[in-house]
Amino acid sequence: MSSPLQIWHPFSNSVLDPPPLRVTRAEGAVVYTADGRQIIDAISSWWVNLHGHANPRIAAAIAKQGQKLEQVILAGFTHDAAEELVTRLRKWVPRELTHLFFSDDGSTAVEVGLKLAVQHFQNLSRPEKHEIVALEHGYHGDTAGAMSVSDESPFTQPFQSMRYPVHRVHSAYCYRCPVGLKRESCHIECVQQLEQLLEERAEKIAAVIVEPLLQGAGGMIVHPAEFLEKIRALCTKHDIFLITDEVLTGFGRTGKMFACDLANISPDIMCVSKGITGGFLTMGVTLSTDRVQAAFHSENRLHSFYHGHSYTGNALACAAANANLQIFDDEPVFDRIRGIAKIHAERLRQLRDFHQVGDTRQLGGLGALELRVDDPGYLSSLRPKLYNFFLERSVLLRPLGNVVYVLPPYIISPDQLHRVYDVITEAVQTIL
């Protein structure tokens, strides 16, 4: 008899973590398990779900598309669902972005963005301009290139040999200010490090990549809009591409469709994924300007972008994305996000009074609190205790170490969201 084939679960430790819960169905903000539990999904299943699990409109669109065309090679071919998607996205993405490249997920959307920036200058016979700048606390995915631009963390630690060198500069992490200033006196001094680097090395640098306004996996760090505005201005001044990784922030998470709308900036390259299909199917998209693309518009075949994934532009995923955007058109999605933001603000204000709470942060549909512990960071000993505590009370939250955050689907009810915060409050009072 051969051994059973077992699922190897992501971001999980097979010795230390409890066995996975078997989910039989999900609806709205609730996940139903085989042992009869109803768990509130307060993190949108890794930040992908927008309009609720099993949203009937998206489910129907996928089923309809599946009866017509499920997938076709996108090299040399196109199809209606993909063409509809570019037309629909036109309304939402900054108008300077005029070209869209499909990939599979957030990591590959980032890989594409980095490769476009590097090859752009290569095609223009400027191969020396290939270096990348990224932020402290950044996270851009788990493939090798995305890992390289991500900051060092337990996720990257075994793979130092696989990460290419990147310039790392300060992030505007105000609670743990990198330049040691008090919040009141801050005039975005942390951006000076980038300024100096670009002054010195602009000729060699192809791109700066940032998670705009909100660094997710690095600890739900919210940046002042001026920080992003300043980065945009510096990139323009030094002829360096700004790549915004909106994999997390896209599709309403910040209260605007994209984080760059909040800061009123437009990137040269923008990566999106996660919410693009409403959380139904995997898809990555990298958008770029005419200027980026112009270097590839050449009679030299070697100037082509030789990159593509088998399922690039998958028709089912495009149908899901179109249905997702139709919901943005038809339903009061931004009112829902505002409702969530109001509850975040109210409950975080109350939580700030607890001495165990060091900082609270909020942006649109995201609410987070950083707890005071002796061992901050992703591997904080508090994390598994909190995770289990929440799950025992039927709330799915996956703290990033000592940072607890709530990022629910937009259709979560006020009662459900208050329940999530009641459980967090109980945890703060009893575990710490």
Ligand X SMILES: Cc1ncc(COP(=O)(O)O)c(C=O)c1O
- Contacting residue, 123, 148, 273, 362, with ligand X by CB under 6 A: 273
Residue nearest to ligand X (CB): 106
Q: Are 293 and 97 in contact (CB under 8 A)?
A: no
Angle ∠(55,56,60) on CA atoms, nearest 5: 125
Q: Is the CB of 207 or the CB of 427 nearer to ligand X?
A: 207
Per-residue interface string for the shown chain with ligand X, residues 286-305, x marking contact by CB under 6 A: --------------------
- Contacting residue, 216, 275, 313, 399, with ligand X by CB under 6 A: 216
Q: Does 122 bind ligand X (CB under 6 A)?
A: no
Output the CA torsion sign for 219, 222, 227, 229: positive
> Rounded distance, CA 418 to CA 422, Å?
6
**Per CB under 6 A, which region of 24-32, 240-248, 313-321, 394-402 contacts ligand X?**
240-248
How would you classify the pairing of strands 214-215 and 241-245?
unpaired
- Contacting residue, 102, 121, 139, 258, with ligand X by CB under 6 A: 139
**Per CB under 6 A, which region of 13-21, 74-82, 209-217, 402-410 contacts ligand X?**
209-217
Q: Are 140 and 270 in contact (CB under 8 A)?
A: no
> Rounded distance, CA 223 to CA 209, Å?
15
Q: Are 243 and 267 in contact (CB under 8 A)?
A: yes
Rounded to the nearest whole angstrom, what is the least distance from the CB of residue 108 to ligand X in the complex?
7
Q: Does 145 bind ligand X (CB under 6 A)?
A: no
- Contacting residue, 81, 89, 93, 110, with ligand X by CB under 6 A: 110
As given in the structure block, the two tokens for residue 264 are 């009123």
**Per CB under 6 A, which region of 183-191, 242-250, 291-299, 373-381 contacts ligand X?**
242-250
Give all strands of the β-sheet with 357-363 in edge-to-edge order.
357-363, 366-371, 403-406
Count of residues binding ligand X (CB under 6 A)?
A: 14
The runs of H, that is alpha helices, within 27-105 are 44-47, 56-66, 80-90
Q: Does 211 bind ligand X (CB under 6 A)?
A: yes
Q: Does 248 bind ligand X (CB under 6 A)?
A: yes
Q: Does 207 bind ligand X (CB under 6 A)?
A: no
Q: Which of residues 157-196 bind ligand X (CB under 6 A)?
A: none
- Contacting residue, 52, 85, 105, 123, with ligand X by CB under 6 A: 105
Rounded to the nearest whole angstrom, what is the least distance from the CB of residue 132 to ligand X in the complex?
15
Q: Does 245 bind ligand X (CB under 6 A)?
A: yes
**Per CB under 6 A, which region of 105-113, 153-161, 230-238, 308-316 contacts ligand X?**
105-113
Rounded to the nearest whole angstrom, what is the least distance from the CB of residue 14 to ligand X in the complex?
20
Q: Is the CB of 235 or the CB of 247 nearer to ligand X?
A: 247
Q: Does 140 bind ligand X (CB under 6 A)?
A: yes
Give all strands of the β-sheet with 97-103 in edge-to-edge order.
97-103, 284-289, 269-272, 241-245, 205-210, 131-135, 167-169
- Contacting residue, 28, 141, 145, 218, with ligand X by CB under 6 A: 141
Q: Does 247 bind ligand X (CB under 6 A)?
A: yes
DSSP class of residue 311 equals: T
> Rounded distance, CA 134 to CA 417, Å?
34
Output the CA torsion sign for 45, 50, 56, 61: negative
Task: Give the CB-side neighbour count of residue 58, counting CA atoms within 13 A.
Answer: 25
Q: Does 111 bind ligand X (CB under 6 A)?
A: no
How would you classify the pairing of strands 269-272 and 284-289?
antiparallel
Rounded to the nearest whole angstrom, what is the least distance from the CB of residue 117 to ligand X in the complex?
16
- The H or E element spanning position 110 is helix 106-123
Rounded to the nearest whole angstrom, what is the least distance from the CB of residue 366 to ligand X in the complex?
12
Rounded to the nearest whole angstrom, what is the least distance from the CB of residue 141 to ligand X in the complex?
3
Q: Is the CB of 217 or the CB of 397 nearer to ligand X?
A: 217
Annotate 399-421 with DSSP letters as a single string.
-BTTEEEE---TT--HHHHHHHH
Rounded to the nearest whole angstrom, what is the least distance from the CB of residue 106 to ligand X in the complex?
2
> Rounded distance, CA 432 to CA 428, Å?
6
> Rounded distance, CA 325 to CA 315, Å?
15
Q: Does 401 bind ligand X (CB under 6 A)?
A: no
Interface positions with ligand X (CB under 6 A): 105-107, 110, 139-141, 211, 216-217, 245, 247-248, 273
